[in-house]
Chains A and B, each alone.
Chain A
Amino acid sequence: MLVETYQAQLNRLLEQFDCKIQLPEEWAESFFDERGVLPTSFDERRQFARYHFRGKGILQVQRTLPTIQRSRGLYVIYTFDIARGGFAFLHTSQLFPCELCELWLPTQKLTVEITRCQYINSRCYLIGSRPTSRNLATLATQ
């Protein structure tokens, strides 16, 4: 029996689910072309260098909070940027600090804890997260 590779599994999921994220106009044109280190002037107070990390992934909320209701559905996300301490992505709805999510990223699966959330538009939130499972250093250089 053939074992489906991670890549194939991810691609199958990406085809199966519609992406509902609405990229703001100013990002839409070159969103997936951005590469390399973000200029430090972008945010000088950051501790570690951040890298553009643009692609598609899948999110599933693994553990929410006692007062929040969420479905266990799968959602397409856009990966955004990555640093030693964390990883950011775009999602269609707001996530709250301390929620745990499983992410299918282009090269690996990752469990993250949400650390912050920024509203971009009603169908686009920039979510900051911190991996609970492994260091992101290797991912950042891939």
Chain B
Amino acid sequence: MSCQTAEVAEFAIEDCLPIHINTLVPEQCIGIELYIRDSRSGRLRLYRGENIIIKEADRQRLIDHDVRMLFIKKADHRRYQDYLNEHLELVLKDETKSVAARFTTLNEVVRDVMATSFRSGDVESTVKQSQQLADHCVDLLSRDDYAANELLGVLHHDYQTFTHSANVTFLCVLLSKALGITHPDDIQQIAIGALLHDLGKLDIPERILTKPGKLTDAEFDVVRNHPKWGFQKLCQRDDITNAQLMMVYQHHERVDGGGYPVGIPKAEIHDWARLTTVVDVYEALTANRPYRGPLRHSQAIEIMERDCGRVFDPEMMQCWLRLIKHN
């Protein structure tokens, strides 16, 4: 009987979206069916019905079995995001938890929300989610009872586009504050722009994004289109500012004019785009790649120092180095 039920509820992995178990609040009902991957068939079977409460013991059992990801149906992604937003508030306001612990949760939620939005291909929902998440990021990072390296320590480095976007967002907020950008509206806008900066990667085939090894010229041409594709997805919206658009369009420009898509020199690159470039490269260097492990912090700094003044704005780079070395 149970066998039959499991069969009826089986799903192909392409019809579902992965979610991290840390984003589930124990003792709460998520209101969405949760699926688990069958280690033998690779297919998904129902783990919990929509009205079943997940207990802390359930979560622990999953961790003991080395299960970190559950799955939801693609059609449920907006409900899942609403659930996250609602519960995130509670977690982030919980003063009994350390800032680092709350930051860990926020980081996981941002990754999941961006992942479900990016994978659903729904630009409207991605922008709306980015706006809400940016509020949370800015709120948490506007406190001064944490050290930047405490936060750097909890970032994931799996080099998925949404993990990267989440990390770049936190780092952009840290760098903007260090650069003296103090107005909360500006910081919030920078956080949204950072969450969306690689939106155009949605259109790069997965085969290229995860290719272990050097890209061919033709593949690299495809990758080089992502700032333009991201710009095209956002440029007709009236809830995105010019500065945010430039973070998307210009974050691969170099101050010596050798970047893409346009090849403009420093004077023509928007400040916020130059800021994004610094943390974008740092994040990419310290992330796991299909063909190499993450570089150590010191190796990443060494590489970036070599490119200071050619790729990066020297002033922003100095500020970034002071920030991460100091911490």
- A interface residues, Cβ below 8 angstroms from B: 45, 65-68, 94, 96-98, 116-119, 122, 125
Contact = CB atoms under 8 A, between A and B. Distances in A.
B245 interface: yes
Interface in B260-280: 261-265, 268
Interface of B: 217-218, 221, 228, 231-232, 235-238, 240-242, 245, 249, 257, 261-265, 268
A113 to B, nearest CB: 10
The 3 closest A-B pairs by CB, nearest first: A67-B242, A119-B263, A119-B264
A6 B228 CA distance: 35
B235 A97 contact: yes
B242 A94 contact: no
A116 B225 CA distance: 10
Contact of A97 (B221, B231, B241, B265): B231
B228 A94 contact: no
A103 B265 CA distance: 27
Given A94-B264, A118-B262, A118-B263, A65 B228 contact: no
Contact of B236 (A65, A94, A122, A125): A65
B268 A65 contact: no
A116 B261 contact: yes
A65 B217 CA distance: 32
A98 B232 contact: yes
B241 A67 contact: yes
A98 B235 contact: yes
Contacts of B237: 66
B262 A98 contact: no
Nearest to B242: A67
Given A45-B221, A94-B268, A66 B238 contact: yes
A97 B235 CA distance: 9
Contacts of B240: 67
B221 A67 contact: no
Given A98-B232, A98-B236, 7 more contacts: A45-B218, A45-B221, A65-B236, A94-B264, A94-B268, A118-B263, A119-B264
Contact of A67 (B245, B262, B263, B268): B245
Contacts of B228: 97, 116
A97 B232 contact: yes
A96 B264 CA distance: 13
A119 B257 contact: yes
B257 A96 contact: no
Contacts of A118: 262-263
Contacts of B231: 96-98
Nearest to B246: A67
A94 B235 CA distance: 15
Nearest to B237: A66
Max chain B CB contacts within 10 Å: which of A66, A116, A122, A125? A66
A66 B236 contact: yes
A94 B246 CA distance: 13
A72 B65 CA distance: 65
Contacts of B261: 116-117
Contacts of B242: 67-68
B262 A94 contact: yes
B28 to A, nearest CB: 40
Contacts of A67: 235, 240-242, 245
